[in-house]
């Protein structure tokens, strides 16, 4: 299989190269499922939407424009497809996608930065704080820090303006930072060596 850059892989797919299509699916399917769970709790809808998305991509490949971020294109397309499906479905007729519960997921702090004897406390507190964020805050921070999109890309994927995206991201970070500071204060009083590393861990939120 050729070793292609992202733009080259996308262009090979647009030309009808099946290996490129398969590689795109293998690269992004898991990320799409994870992102879909931030948009809706309906697992079947997520799976069906991803399935339909890739079918439509293949069928319309020759009409697609160039892109230097396949991931961004797929995420935005998936959100639009889920939105469209929910508007069509009578069951979702009175459901606001922004109010659907999103499953908390511990991804903000990398485990290898946390000392073994204290990481459970920090992660448990962060998990609880993350769960208190609004679904939109969770979605924004997931896109920004787990999937590494810029603030502008987060806004476009979520279908909101740039200022709103920044507000969701920074308000979520404020909550998580406060949790980190509180935990380090507790650890400092308890004499843990982890308390000597607040700046190192805090940089993950900047």
Q: How high is the pLDDT of residue 184?
A: 58
Let me know: does 177 contact 85? Beta carbons within 8 Å.
Answer: no
∠128-130-132 over CA atoms, to 5°?
Answer: 75
Phi, psi of 124 (to 5 degrees): -65, -40
Q: CA 81, 75, 51: angle at the middle one, nearest 5?
A: 50
Residue 89's pLDDT is: 62
Looking at residue 116, its pLDDT comes to 47
C-alpha span between 140 and 142 (Å, rounded): 5
pTM for the full predicted model:
0.56
CA Rg value for the chain: 20
Q: How far apart are CA 117 and CA 34, in angstroms?
A: 29
| Three-state secondary structure readout of the chain | CCCCCHHHHHHHHHCCCHHHHHHHHHHHHHHHHHHHHHHCCCHHHHHHHHHHHHHHHHHCHHHCCCCCCHHHHHHHHHHHHHHHHHHHCHHHCCCCHHHCCCCCCCCCCCHHHCCHHHHHHHHHHHHHHHHHCCHHHHHHHHHHHHCCCCHHHHHHHHCCCHHHHHHHHHHHHHHHHHHHHHHHHHHHHHCCHHHHCHHHHHHHHC
| Domains located in the chain, CATH noted | 6-97 (1.10.1740.10), 111-205 (1.10.10.10)
Return the pLDDT at 187: 52
Stretches in the chain below the pLDDT threshold 50: 90-114, 116, 188-206
pLDDT at 203: 36
Closest by Cα among 42, 72, 77, 76 to 56: 77
Q: Are 197 and 189 in contact (CB under 8 A)?
A: no
């Amino acid at each position: 299989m050729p070793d292609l850059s992202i733009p080259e892989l996308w262009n090979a797919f647009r030309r009808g190269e099946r290996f490129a299509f398969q590689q795109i699916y293998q690269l992004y399917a898991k990320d799409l499922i994870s992102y879909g769970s931030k948009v809706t709790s309906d697992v079947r809808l997520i799976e069906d939407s991803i399935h339909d998305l890739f079918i439509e991509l293949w069928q319309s490949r020759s009409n697609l424009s160039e892109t230097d971020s396949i991931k961004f294109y797929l995420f935005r397309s998936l959100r639009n497809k889920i939105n469209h499906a929910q508007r069509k479905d009578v069951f979702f007729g009175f459901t606001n996608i922004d109010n659907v519960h999103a499953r908390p997921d511990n991804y903000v702090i990398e485990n290898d930065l946390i000392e073994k004897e204290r990481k459970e406390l920090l992660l448990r507190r962060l998990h609880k704080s993350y769960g208190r964020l609004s679904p939109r805050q969770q979605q924004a921070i997931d896109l920004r820090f787990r999937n590494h999109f810029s603030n502008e890309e987060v806004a476009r994927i979520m279908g909101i303006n740039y200022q709103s995206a920044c507000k969701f991201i920074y308000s979520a970070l404020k909550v998580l930072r406060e949790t980190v500071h509180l935990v380090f204060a507790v650890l400092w009083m308890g004499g843990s060596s982890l308390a000597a590393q607040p700046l190192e861990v805090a940089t993950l939120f900047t």
